[in-house]
Amino acid sequence: MTDEIAIEFADVTKRYGTAVAVDNISFSIAKGEMVTFLGPSGCGKTTSLRLIAGLELPTTGVVRIAGRDVSQRAASERNVGMVFQSYALFPHMTVLENVAYGPVIRGEAKASARTRALEILEQIGLSGLSGRLPSELSGGQQQRVAVARAIVQQPDVLLFDEPLSNVDAKLRRKVRGEIRDLQKRFGLTAVYVTHDQEEALAVSDRIVVMQSGRIAQIGSPRDLYERPASPFVADFIGDANLISGQVSDGRFRAADLDLPMTGAEGAAQISLRPERIALAPGDGSPSGKVLSCTYLGSRWEYEIETGFAELLTSRPMTEPPIAPGTRVSLTIPDTAPIRVA
């Protein structure tokens, strides 16, 4: 990874009539980095990806790829590779023709384009299928052809638009690993769009969390999980208990909850991860009542009624279950709460 900037957005806005899809966002992506746009549907993540591809042009602002201003350049005039949600393989061309399409279009001789396509197909483990039509491949194979087609021209940036949404749930973990390996092996700059936070945490160097057209937070997966900057991010990345209260004299207080907390005094909100709340039958402070206890195979999940919020907690299988209706006292480590507002 170098510090060279591959993609840069400067005050980019995209409007459709009066609707604002992307609202004045700025960020930059370093060469060789894999960045994910994450957010709920309608947050502007796909539009941002399409702005990089040139499938949409910004209403205002500047998009730079490899240092070049491409704001008003059509997709065909940028050097990007894209893997579509539906794969978008050409049904009337063979696998080889699909992969060789880009080089041929860009003026490469047919023979060398074929050679290059075959090389990529081999590296990606599909060399035996080059003569098949897309309709004769499995979903996973189609997905890999789509990736091969996108990287054959050594693009400045490789774009993924929810590439796993059509892959079988069991295969997803494997395929996303392959994508990450490939990106590292070829040293590609990649931008990945998903609404699945687990997928985002698994594949990214950095994640851009988006909310209604704006960037909510940019950071490494660990940053976002451990130090969310807003209630939205805390809630969107993993599960979070959001608790509102007051900060004074270096303590956060809400009902019988009392935790050490630095920072500005006054109204505040904290996030507590479910796995960081320990439970024991009893009536200490803070305390609550078990509403439900659910067996999830790898852990127990509890809903606890307390004086300050309804809490979600999860406990390892090694602990004995606690029956609903039981009064419990809660143990929260001082490092567990993260102030988000």
Binding site for another protein (CB under 8 A): 53-57, 72-82, 84-92, 101-102, 105-106, 133-140, 142, 149-150, 153, 159, 166, 168
Looking at the DSSP assignment, which residues form a beta bridge with residue 315?
A: 300
Which whole-number Å values give the CA distances from 20 to 47, 48, 58, 187, 207, in the listed order? 11, 12, 11, 34, 22
Our CB check for another protein shows the closer of 11 and 305 to be 11
Query: From the CB of 55, what's the least distance to another protein, in Å?
Result: 5
Query: From the CB of 200, what's the least distance to another protein, in Å?
Result: 21
Name residues whose C-beta falls within 8 Å of residue 184's C-beta, 6 or more positions apart in sequence. Answer: none
Our CB check for another protein shows the closer of 49 and 340 to be 49
Query: From the CB of 206, what's the least distance to another protein, in Å?
Result: 23
Our CB check for another protein shows the closer of 146 and 304 to be 146
**Strand pairing of 190-194 and 157-161?**
parallel
Could you write out the DSSP letters of every residue in 1-39?
--S-EEEEEEEEEEEETTEEEEEEEEEEEETT-EEEEE-
Our CB check for another protein shows the closer of 97 and 239 to be 97
Query: From the CB of 132, what's the least distance to another protein, in Å?
Result: 10
Our CB check for another protein shows the closer of 133 and 332 to be 133
Q: From CA 95, how far away is CA 166, in angstroms rounded?
A: 19
| Helix spans in 132-282 (H) | 139-151, 169-185, 197-203, 221-226, 231-236
Pick from 166, 169, 215, 189: nearest CA to 11: 215
Query: From the CB of 98, what's the least distance to another protein, in Å?
Result: 9
